[in-house]
C-alpha cells in the first residue's frame, strides 16, 4: 500500500524557535499534499493544501506567514512553524493524494510538537 | 457549527457485543463519506467508505442517509482490537471534514 512518512515524529522546542516538518510519499508521487492539525480530543482540522510547484492554499484562520509550506517535488512537502509558541503545540499530520487523482488520501504517522 | 458532529462516547462494551454509533454532517454538498479509525497518538487509518446503499466489510457495517445527512457504523462481535476512536469523515472534492471521533473500548 501507499506509504507516507513524516519527520520528525516528535519535537520539543523553545518558544520563539522555528520547526520544520517533512512529509514524504515513499512509493508514489503526490500532486497534492495536505496538512492537518489535531488538538487533544478534537477533530483533525485541515490547515492547508499544497500542490507541487505552486503556492499552498490555506484554510480560513490559518496564518500563511506563520505556517510556511513548500511542496518542491512530487514526493516532498514541508511545513515550517515559524516563531512557535506554546499554543502551537499540537499533532501535525500530513496526507498525500496520488497523481492518478484517486480520492483516497494516505496519511503520514504525524508529528507531535511541544513548544515550551 | 461543526461540519461533522459525533457522539464522543465512550462506548464501553464487552467482547462479542454489537456496538453502533453515528454522525451527522452539515454540508449538503458532501459527496463521499468514510469511517476512519484512529488509535491513541497515531494517524487516522481508513476503515471503510460509506455508500448510500449501505455496505459491509466483515464485522463492520456502514450506512448513509443523504436525506437526513446521517452516517452510521455498526461493529458486530466486538474484539479487543476494535478499541479505538472512530472518525466520521465527509468530503467535498479533495477536502475531508473530520468529526472529533467516537471512542470505543472493548473489554474482556
Give the DSSP letter string of B42-108: S-EEEEEEE-TT-EEETTEEEEEETTTTEEEEEE-S--GGG-EEEEEEEEETTEEEE---EEEEEE-
Q: Specify the pLDDT at position A101.
A: 59
Q: Specify the pLDDT at position B57.
A: 94
Residue whose C-alpha is closest to residue A103's, from B2, B49, B77, B47:
B49
For residues B33 and A53, give the distance between their C-alpha atoms in angstroms, rounded to a whole number. 29
Asked if pLDDT for residue A2 goes beyond 90, the answer is: no
Asked if pLDDT for residue A22 goes beyond 90, the answer is: yes
DSSP labels, A12-43: EE-TT--EEEEEEESSS-EEEEEEEEE-TTS-
Does the distance separating the beta carbons of B43 and A43 come in below 8 Å?
no
Number of helices followed by number of strands (H, E) in chain A: 0, 11
Does the distance separating the beta carbons of B98 and A44 come in below 8 Å?
yes
Q: Specify the pLDDT at position A31.
A: 84
Residue B102 forms contact with A (CB below 8 Å) = no
Q: Can you tell me the mean pLDDT for A18-43?
A: 93
Chain length of chain A = 116
Grid cell in block for residue A76? 516532498
Residues of A in contact with B96 (CB under 8 A): 34, 44, 46, 105
A5 vs chain B: nearest CA distance in angstroms? 11
Does the distance separating the beta carbons of A43 and B87 come in below 8 Å?
yes
Residue A104 forms contact with B (CB below 8 Å) = yes
Residue B100 forms contact with A (CB below 8 Å) = yes
| Option in A42, A46, A108 nearest B95 (CB) | A46
Does the distance separating the beta carbons of B46 and A104 come in below 8 Å?
yes
Q: Specify the pLDDT at position A1.
A: 67
Does the distance separating the beta carbons of A97 and B94 come in below 8 Å?
yes
Residue-wise pLDDT tens digits, B81-99: 999 999 999 998 888 999 9
Residue-wise pLDDT tens digits, A43-101: 999 999 998 888 899 999 999 999 999 988 999 999 999 999 999 999 999 999 887 65
Does the distance separating the beta carbons of B87 and A107 come in below 8 Å?
no
Residue A89 forms contact with B (CB below 8 Å) = no
Cell 442517509 maps to which residue?
B65
Residue A100 forms contact with B (CB below 8 Å) = no
Q: Specify the pLDDT at position B100.
A: 93
Amino acid at each position: 500500500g501507499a506509504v507516507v512518512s513524516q519527520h520528525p515524529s516528535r519535537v520539543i522546542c523553545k518558544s520563539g524557535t522555528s520547526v520544520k516538518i517533512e512529509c514524504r510519499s515513499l512509493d508514489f508521487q503526490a500532486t497534492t499534499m495536505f496538512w492537518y492539525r489535531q488538538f487533544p480530543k478534537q477533530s483533525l482540522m485541515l490547515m492547508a493544501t499544497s500542490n507541487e510547484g505552486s503556492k499552498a492554499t490555506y484554510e480560513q484562520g490559518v496564518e500563511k506567514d506563520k505556517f510556511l509550506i513548500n511542496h518542491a517535488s512530487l514526493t516532498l512537502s514541508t511545513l515550517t512553524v515559524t516563531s512557535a509558541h506554546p499554543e502551537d503545540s499540537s499533532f501535525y499530520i500530513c496526507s498525500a493524494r496520488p497523481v492518478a487523482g484517486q480520492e483516497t488520501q494516505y496519511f503520514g504517522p504525524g508529528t507531535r510538537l511541544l513548544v515550551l | 457549527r461543526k461540519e461533522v458532529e459525533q457522539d464522543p462516547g465512550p462506548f464501553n462494551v464487552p467482547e462479542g457485543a454489537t456496538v453502533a454509533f453515528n454522525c451527522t454532517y452539515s454540508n449538503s454538498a458532501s459527496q463521499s463519506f468514510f469511517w476512519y479509525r484512529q488509535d491513541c497518538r497515531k494517524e487516522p487509518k481508513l476503515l471503510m467508505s460509506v455508500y448510500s446503499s449501505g455496505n459491509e466489510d466483515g464485522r463492520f457495517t456502514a450506512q448513509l442517509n443523504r436525506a437526513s445527512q446521517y452516517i452510521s457504523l455498526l461493529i458486530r462481535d466486538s474484539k479487543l482490537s476494535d478499541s479505538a476512536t472512530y472518525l466520521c469523515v465527509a468530503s467535498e472534492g479533495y477536502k475531508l471534514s473530520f468529526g472529533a471521533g467516537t471512542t470505543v473500548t472493548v473489554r474482556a
